[in-house]
């Protein structure tokens, strides 16, 4: 290409970022677009967090690869208050949980089972590392956890093909479905992981945004502490995704310590240490001061109301929608109205539907195929990432109405 005798390896832009760019192009043309494709809370950064970040802006040096002692102690406290007693030595910080997940997959060095559907990057990261993402369907209404019944069979069959399956990823609560798996399902997943010798990577980045009454995250780290890595970040609950700070909690025991050493090796070659001012702000945030707890409470209530309203509208239009339980996503299945969509709009796939919603209704969403769902299913992920004005509410109503 150009004056070079080779082309760079083709790597597509992550679907969530690509939809953002499509929305930005529309806006540049003067079209008002409701951005429902990208996973971001519709709350501002809390001023107390900004204050902490600013107070540490003179920290310019590199820190320890694992993260500062203050941050690791604070995160250990955060997990300990959630029923997972944690030593600070089990914590590794990084510039967001996305790179931490990539580094973990690199350290594990084998193939990985991911839920279908699941967050866009698990499968993409595995592929970048030359590993195979093995997609295993989730139970209806229990997104984020590969069905334990199907998991063992999928692992056995992949191994029979010569694949070296080493890990399974779960998301609690889930992106894209906005649902939360039951404790029973998680316990059964842990049993299969134990039988099959798998590490469990539990992505709990939306943990503090569970809004279904009476529900709490059944972390696999509670039931299989010797093999579960948990990750989280400030990106979703405190809307600080652009500040780039994530943390991993490594498993107990000898395997956990070996994995930590490997992870630190990978981290030391890629990011050296997480941004120092941000580590200072994160140490404060994971300490859960009352003003931030209240801020997250408000965000949780807001997302409960918005996701319920959006889900109701889609259901009224004839789509099949699971009741939102956490995070800020709604994942309607337009299968039940596929004939009307095909007859009236020529819509046959989720990609067609996504295109229609953006072009006709000015609403940016992601197709289920981005999350590893079959394209024909016409599923579409909606992230109600903003407070809606009357205008926006009307457009939501219009897009959720049966095709004319």
Q: Which of residues 193-222 bind ligand PLP (CB under 6 A)?
A: 203, 205
Binding letters toward ligand PLP, positions 366-395, x by CB under 6 A: ------------------------------
By beta-carbon proximity to ligand PLP, the closer residue of 96 and 372 is 96
- Tell me 240's DSSP state: -
The label of the residue with tokens 């510039």 reads 95
Q: How far is the CB of 203 from ligand PLP (least distance, A)?
A: 5
Tokens read off for 96: 């967001």
Q: Which of residues 15-44 bind ligand PLP (CB under 6 A)?
A: 39
Burial of 41 (0-12, 13-18, 19+ CB in 10 A): buried
Question: Using the rule CB under 6 A, is 241 a contact of ligand PLP?
Answer: yes
Per CB under 6 A, the list member of 78, 79, 102, 119 interacting with ligand PLP is 119
Q: Which of residues 246-305 bind ligand PLP (CB under 6 A)?
A: 246
By beta-carbon proximity to ligand PLP, the closer residue of 175 and 370 is 175
Q: How far is the CB of 328 from ligand PLP (least distance, A)?
A: 10
Question: Using the rule CB under 6 A, is 73 a contact of ligand PLP?
Answer: no
Q: What CA–CA distance (Å, rounded) separates 305 from 292?
A: 20
In order, the DSSP letters of 22-57 are HHHHHHHTT---EE-SS---SSPPPHHHHHHHHHTT
End-to-end CA distance of the chain: 48
The closest residue (CB) to ligand PLP is: 96
By beta-carbon proximity to ligand PLP, the closer residue of 180 and 347 is 180
Q: How far is the CB of 256 from ligand PLP (least distance, A)?
A: 21
* Crossing angle of the two packed helices 97-108 and 120-128, in degrees rounded to 10: 40
Q: Are strands 228-233 and 199-203 parallel, antiparallel or unpaired?
A: parallel
Query: Where is 133: in which H helix or E strand?
Result: strand 133-139
Question: Using the rule CB under 6 A, is 233 a contact of ligand PLP?
Answer: yes
The label of the residue with tokens 């699941």 reads 118
Q: Which of 354, 248, 313 is nearest to 15 (CA)?
A: 354
By beta-carbon proximity to ligand PLP, the closer residue of 277 and 318 is 277
Per CB under 6 A, the list member of 63, 96, 146, 251 interacting with ligand PLP is 96
Note the residues at the interface with ligand PLP (CB under 6 A): 39, 96-98, 119, 171, 175, 203, 205, 233, 235, 241, 246
């Amino acid at each position: 290409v150009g004056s070079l005798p080779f082309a760079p390896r083709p790597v597509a832009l992550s679907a969530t970022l690509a939809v953002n760019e499509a929305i930005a192009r529309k806006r540049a043309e003067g079209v008002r677009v409701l951005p429902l494709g990208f996973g971001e809370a519709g709350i501002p950064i809390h001023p107390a967090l900004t204050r902490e970040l600013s107070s540490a802006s003179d920290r310019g040096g590199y820190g320890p690869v694992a993260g500062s002692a203050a941050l690791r102690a604070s995160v250990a406290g955060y997990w300990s208050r959630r029923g997972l007693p944690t030593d600070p030595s089990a914590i590794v910080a990084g510039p967001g949980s996305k790179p931490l997940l990539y580094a973990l997959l690199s350290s594990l060095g084998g193939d990985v089972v991911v839920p279908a559907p699941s967050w866009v990057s698990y499968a993409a990261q595995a592929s970048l590392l030359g590993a195979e993402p093995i997609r295993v369907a989730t139970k209806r209404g229990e997104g984020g956890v590969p069905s334990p019944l199907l998991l063992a069979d999928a692992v056995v069959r992949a191994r029979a093909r010569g694949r070296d399956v080493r890990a399974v990823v779960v998301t609690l609560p889930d992106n894209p479905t906005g649902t939360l798996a039951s404790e029973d399902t998680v316990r059964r997943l842990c049993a299969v992981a134990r039988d099959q010798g798998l590490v469990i990577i539990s992505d709990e980045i939306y943990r503090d945004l569970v809004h279904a009454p009476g529900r709490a995250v059944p972390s696999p780290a509670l039931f299989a502490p010797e093999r579960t890595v948990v990750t989280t970040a400030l990106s979703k609950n405190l809307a600080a995704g652009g500040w780039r700070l994530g943390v991993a909690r490594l498993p107990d025991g000898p395997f956990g310590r070996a994995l930590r050493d490997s992870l630190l090796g990978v981290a030391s070659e890629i990011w050296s240490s997480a941004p120092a001012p941000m580590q200072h702000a994160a140490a404060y945030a994971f300490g859960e001061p009352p003003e931030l707890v209240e801020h997250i409470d408000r965000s949780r209530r807001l997302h409960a109301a918005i996701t319920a309203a959006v889900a109701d509208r889609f259901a009224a239009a004839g789509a099949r929608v699971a009741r939102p339980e956490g995070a800020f996503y709604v994942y309607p299945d337009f299968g039940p109205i596929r004939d009307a969509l095909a007859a009236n709009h020529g819509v046959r796939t989720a990609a067609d539907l996504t295109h229609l919603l953006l072009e006709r209704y000015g609403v940016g969403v992601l197709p289920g195929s981005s999350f590893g769902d079959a394209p024909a299913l016409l599923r579409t992920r909606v992230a109600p990432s903003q407070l809606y004005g009357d205008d926006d509410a009307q457009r939501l109503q219009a897009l959720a109405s049966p095709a004319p």
